[in-house]
Each structure stands twice: as structure tokens, then as C-alpha cells.
Structure 1
Amino acid sequence: MDFLKAPTLFLVVLSLTIWSATSAPNRGGYWPSWAKDSFPPSRIQTAYFTHVYYAFLSPNKDTFQYNIDATTASVLTNFNTALHRKNPPVKTMLSIGGGSAGTELFTRMASSANSRASFIRSTIQVARKYGFDGADLDWEYPETQTAMNNFGLLLDEWRVAVNNEATSTGKPRLLLSAATRHEPEVIDNGVAKYPVASINKNLDWINAMCYDYHGPWTPDATGAPAALYDPNGSLSTSNGLQSWISAGIQRQKLVMGMPLYGWTWKLKNPSVNGIGAPAAGIGPGNEGAMLYSEVQQFNAQNNARVVYDTQTVSYYSYSGTSWIGYDDVNSVQRKVQYAKTLNIGGYFFWTAVGDQDWKISRLASQTWTA
């Protein structure tokens, strides 16, 4: 989920006892810690969010505990102090891992009771020490069914630990969430299915990453990175959410992800410029990635042609050989309305810093609460 630092799979990223723990649907946003100088958390307009995620912190690869230096400690403290003092205040979540953390660390951590206990204990300690309201596991992704089963065991033990900690300290129970694929399975050399029963029992919600369907890893043709519908298949947000529901997830624990960034391609032929047009690799931006605000700037500076695609419910723009797929206000509004019809738990953005003058965050919040 950390595309500004390492463009892999992302993320901008939320509860009942489980839903009763948050009293309102989730409107979440991830804050990338590497943006601390250019976009401090104090700039976040909390009127448009209920939960803000600190992205990311990862445990030691051997001890599965956190080694936090003085600089990181200061950033963690400032994050929580700033957001809890805002009006309105928001719930803060410690997001663990991210795309660049990979899967191997968490696969090993979840494979034994001792390492799971070490991770859980250290996570609770860090969350309490720095003032977080909860923790969010961003394991991208459990690749085998054994890893998925261990993920379920981790959630079982984590839930018991946070309940016991709250009882012993008298503090409000820490919230628990996890960022997941847009659908309830990972297909690699086989099919690994998420432990939906354990998720329902133990997590307050999941953040389904409903984006990155197309990007630099599909360099030969343009694509809608976060299509609501896929007219030629099943790679879409609607299919992902419906798949989670069919798998038995409690609807209020399902939170839909949306991107505040776009992916770019270089067109082979500027006159062939629709979705699926032949491409010759990535286009402008940070290894093919652009914040939504940067997309808007690019469009204005290059007099780009902007197209709303009704079939996928997404936007794209092009100028010369440069082509960008992204979401804009209309497609986001349609997605939020669709999520409301499913009666799911809310939505989140990767990342909160990508917006332009908060116009998408504002519209999404108004649409959800209308």
C-alpha cells in the first residue's frame, strides 16, 4: 500500500463488539509517514474522516517486536496528538506492514504460537504507549492456505489479548482491522481463501483494497486501475465486494477501498487511446504513479482530454502518448452510492494526502452521510 515510497500495492486506510465500538460507519484515510514533512497529519481535515491510519510500522524480522528509534517515536506521538486534538477528533489506527513489507515476514510470524504472541504483545504495547485507538494489519498477502489458516489463528489470539488488556487496564478496547485483497481469496499457484469465520469473530472490520487492478505490472495495455465494473471479466470493485458478501462476511465489517492516485501508461499510438489501448510501458509520474492532485495538475498543464467511462465507472485522461487511469468526483460518488446499497461498513482512501483541496474526500463523506 505504500506507493509514494515503494510502488507496490497500496493503500489510504477502520468497527462492532464489534460494530458498536465505533458508533458510525467508517470513512477512513491512510496517512503515509514518509509525507510527514510535506503533509503533516495536522493538515488532515477530520470532518471528512472517522478513522485515520498511520502507515506504516513493521516489527523486527527476527523478534517480531518493534524497534522504534527517537525520530519514529516523535512522529508517532505527533500523529496521535494532532489528530486527537482536531475538531472533530478521529480514531487513530496503527497500520502494520504495507506493500513494501512483503509477505515473508508475516508468514513466519504467524506460523508459530510463540512468534504470534511476541508480535501481539509488542503491538499492544506500542499502540498504548503512543496513543492509538487500534491496530490495522496490512499483510500483502497470505499466499497459501496454510498462511491463511495461521492468519485466522493470529486473529483469534489477538482478539483475546486485546480483550484481556482492556479488562485488566480499564481502558477502551483497542480496535482491530486488517487490509485485505479486494476479494476473499489470493490466487497464485493455487487458491488461498481468507478465514472469513475468524474475521467475523475477531476483527472490527476489513479494508478491502479495491484498486490496483491494472498498473505497471500490466504494461502492454491501458486499464482502469479501480473499475467499479469490468465489462470483460470479473476484475472489479463490484465483483470483489459481492464475493466477500457471498463468502459470508458480515456486511458492516466490509469497508471498500478507493484510490486517490492514478496509474499512467505510454500509448503506442496517440490516436488509439481508450481503456485497453496498446501501450509501451509506463507513462509520467513516480514510476507510473500520480497522486490525484498531480493528475489534475497534469491535465490542466497539458490540456489533456478527460474522459468518464460509464462502463467501468472510472476516468482516464490523455495528452500525446501520456495516458492516466484514475478516479474523479463522479466515479467516487457512484462507488460510494453503490457501497451504500450493499449496506456495508464504509469506505477508505489510499491515501489522505492525495486529494486536491479535499474535494473528493468532502464529496464522499457527504454522499455517505446523506
Structure 2
Amino acid sequence: MFSIGGGSAGTELFSRMASSPSSRATFIRSTIQVARKYGFDGADLDWEYPQTQTAMNNFGLLLDEWRVAVNNEATSTGKPRLLLSAATHYKPEIYFNELCKYPVASINKNLDWINAMCYDYHGPWTPDATGAPAALYDPNGDLSTSNGLQSWISAGIQRQKLVMGMPLYGWTWKLKNPSVNGIGAPAVGIGPGNEGAMLYSEVQQFNAQNNAKVVYDTQTVSYYSYAGTSWIGYDDVNSVQRKVQYAKSLNIGGYFFWTAVGDQDWKISRLASQTWTA
């Protein structure tokens, strides 16, 4: 499948496209043409994120019309029906200037699955304190993967259409005081990496080269490491295994990683696959 959009694409272009029947039709027609021309099995919409309820409603209309179009195209050509998916917020609602709720009924009716992005709970946008970027549990609130998945289920998503996202990268901070180094420790901005981001493979290299202290936090089911003032929050073998077991216990559709290039010798990917199929 090919994906359209992404975090750097912004929301405005998608909002304008989804706001009228004619622009939605143009978008839908072009996705089918691209998929068939290049031999893809379907298309994924990565709109991050609809920021008003009107945009969310238009997102639902887009899905309605997209499904009709791919069904009609398959019928008329005799080809297998194209798959449709979407990347979504980790919860079925987002608050910007107003509370915006995803059109769950339309998702159930029209998409083959959603990729819930269960990560980036903390990062450079929260520079004053360290945090677990993709915590399974949040002992101090509801900023967690478990809360996100349960919220989607409570909102009525068909479980097999819900896919849990996990990151193969971490976020870094610069500690205010190296002796205060747990989750939630005071920080004074971002740490090493590319604007505070480090691939999982890079985290492993950093830990080895700097003799970093590695901690598995059982409350959040996440890892962090620190060396001097550098602090990194990320996922590793145990936390990924626990997350996959949790997702499997919910009987949801599966899991995905963003992004496979961040793995180290396929270590995490292989473990996750073995855990899911065990």
C-alpha cells in the first residue's frame, strides 16, 4: 500500500480537499489511478489531524465516498478491491480549540483498518521534564497506549480494524540535574540526536558508547537510559513484548512500527512477530 500525507504534510491541505464533493472526488480518483498504475494493493490516508469537528465530519464523508468508488472500480474492472486504511490519533478524539471526534461509524463501514499512532506522548514539545514517549500505562493520568486503545474500543471501533502503533525511535532530554534522572525528572530542553530524536538502533549505540544506565520502568512499561545530562525515553525488548501481549489480549487487528528502518538487526521486529503468533 502507499500512504498519502504524514506528520510533515500538515492538516490544511487535507481540510481543503475534504471540504467539497468535487475535490474529494478528484482525490479519490487519483488514489485509485496511482494504486493501479504502480501495482499497490490499496491506499492509506495519513491526515495529521482533522482539527475541527467539521473537518472530522468531512473525513467521514471522504471515507464514505472512497469506499463506494473502490467498490465500483473493482466491480467494473474485475480486479481485487483496493484496501483502504488511515493513520489516526492514539484516541478517537483530539482537543485543539474544540473537542474533535473521529467518525467511528464511517471508519467501521469503510476502512479495512486504522493505524492508531500510540506514541509521541512526550517529546521536544514537553521540554521541561522527561517522559515516556509511548507508555503502555500512565500512573498519573490517561496519556497512554492502554487508554488510547480502550477509548477506541469504548467508542465502538470494530476490534479487528484497530491496529496499535509502536515507535522504533526515542526522544531525548537534557537533565537539569544528573542525579535526578527518573521519568518526570526536570529537564532543560532536548538532548542528543536529530532535534531530540534517536532511532532505536542509535539509542543502542549511544548506550554502549556512553556506558549509559538503562532502566526498565514497570509502571509505564517503557525504557529510559541516561549518561551525564543526556536522557532518552524509548521502547526495548521487554516493553514491546508486553505491548504486543496487551494488544493480543484485546483481540485487536494487530500492531505496526514506525518505522522499520529504526530497528537493530530486526531484533524488535522479530520479537514482536514471535510474541503475536505464540
Q: With structure 1 as the length reference, what TM-score do the two structures score?
A: 0.75
1:218 aligns with 2:126: yes
SS of alignment partner, residue 249 of structure 2: helix
The Cα of 1:253 is off from its aligned counterpart by: 0.3
Partner of 1:235: 143
SS of alignment partner, residue 137 of structure 1: strand
The Cα of 1:307 is off from its aligned counterpart by: 0.1
SS of alignment partner, residue 307 of structure 1: strand
The Cα of 1:249 is off from its aligned counterpart by: 0.3
- Using the alignment, how far apart are the partners of 1:286 and 1:314 within structure 2? 21
SS of alignment partner, residue 258 of structure 1: strand
The Cα of 1:190 is off from its aligned counterpart by: 1.1
The Cα of 1:305 is off from its aligned counterpart by: 0.2
- Using the alignment, how far apart are the partners of 1:359 and 1:173 within structure 2? 34
The Cα of 1:198 is off from its aligned counterpart by: 0.1
The Cα of 1:131 is off from its aligned counterpart by: 1.0
Q: Deviations over 1:103-142 (max 9, x none)?
A: 0000000000000000000011001101111100000000
SS of alignment partner, residue 189 of structure 2: strand
- Using the alignment, how far apart are the partners of 2:37 and 2:92 within structure 1? 33
Q: Deviations over 1:252-298 (max 9, x none)?
A: 00000000000000000000000000000000000000000000000
The Cα of 1:197 is off from its aligned counterpart by: 0.1
- Using the alignment, how far apart are the partners of 1:127 and 1:279 within structure 2? 46
- Using the alignment, how far apart are the partners of 2:21 and 2:110 within structure 1? 17
> Quick one: which of 183, 190, 195 aligns to 1:282?
190
Provide runs of 4+ in structure 1 moved above 6 Å: none
Alignment of 1:130-169 (within 5 A): 130-169=38-77
- Using the alignment, how far apart are the partners of 2:12 and 2:94 within structure 1? 15
CA RMSD of aligned residues (A): 0.4
Gaps in structure 2 of 5+ consecutive residues: none
Q: Which has the higher contact order (CA 8 A, sep 6+)?
A: 1
- Using the alignment, how far apart are the partners of 2:97 and 2:55 within structure 1? 14
The Cα of 1:189 is off from its aligned counterpart by: 1.1
SS of alignment partner, residue 170 of structure 2: strand
Q: Deviations over 1:30-55 (max 9, x none)?
A: xxxxxxxxxxxxxxxxxxxxxxxxxx
> Quick one: which of 308, 316, 320 aligns to 2:216?
308
Q: With structure 2 as the length reference, what TM-score do the two structures score?
A: 1.00
The Cα of 1:169 is off from its aligned counterpart by: 1.0
- Using the alignment, how far apart are the partners of 1:367 and 1:259 within structure 2? 17
1:351 aligns with 2:244: no
The Cα of 1:245 is off from its aligned counterpart by: 0.2
SS of alignment partner, residue 129 of structure 2: coil
The Cα of 1:175 is off from its aligned counterpart by: 0.3
The Cα of 1:349 is off from its aligned counterpart by: 0.2
> Quick one: which of 271, 287, 295 aligns to 2:179?
271
- Using the alignment, how far apart are the partners of 1:365 and 1:166 within structure 2? 32
Partner of 1:109: 17
- Using the alignment, how far apart are the partners of 2:256 and 2:114 within structure 1? 10
- Using the alignment, how far apart are the partners of 2:4 and 2:101 within structure 1? 21
- Using the alignment, how far apart are the partners of 1:290 and 1:170 within structure 2? 46
- Using the alignment, how far apart are the partners of 1:280 and 1:167 within structure 2? 58
- Using the alignment, how far apart are the partners of 2:35 and 2:188 within structure 1? 45
- Using the alignment, how far apart are the partners of 1:126 and 1:141 within structure 2? 23
- Using the alignment, how far apart are the partners of 1:347 and 1:264 within structure 2? 24
SS of alignment partner, residue 280 of structure 1: coil
- Using the alignment, how far apart are the partners of 1:172 and 1:329 within structure 2? 38
1:189 aligns with 2:97: yes
Q: Deviations over 1:225-249 (max 9, x none)?
A: 0000000000000000000000000
Q: Deviations over 1:303-354 (max 9, x none)?
A: 0000000000000000000000000010000000000110000000000100
The Cα of 1:192 is off from its aligned counterpart by: 0.5
- Using the alignment, how far apart are the partners of 1:172 and 1:307 within structure 2? 48
SS of alignment partner, residue 114 of structure 2: strand
Q: Deviations over 1:32-87 (max 9, x none)?
A: xxxxxxxxxxxxxxxxxxxxxxxxxxxxxxxxxxxxxxxxxxxxxxxxxxxxxxxx
SS of alignment partner, residue 188 of structure 2: strand
Q: What fraction of aligned residue pairs are identical, expressed as a percent?
A: 93
SS of alignment partner, residue 80 of structure 2: coil
Partner of 1:73: none
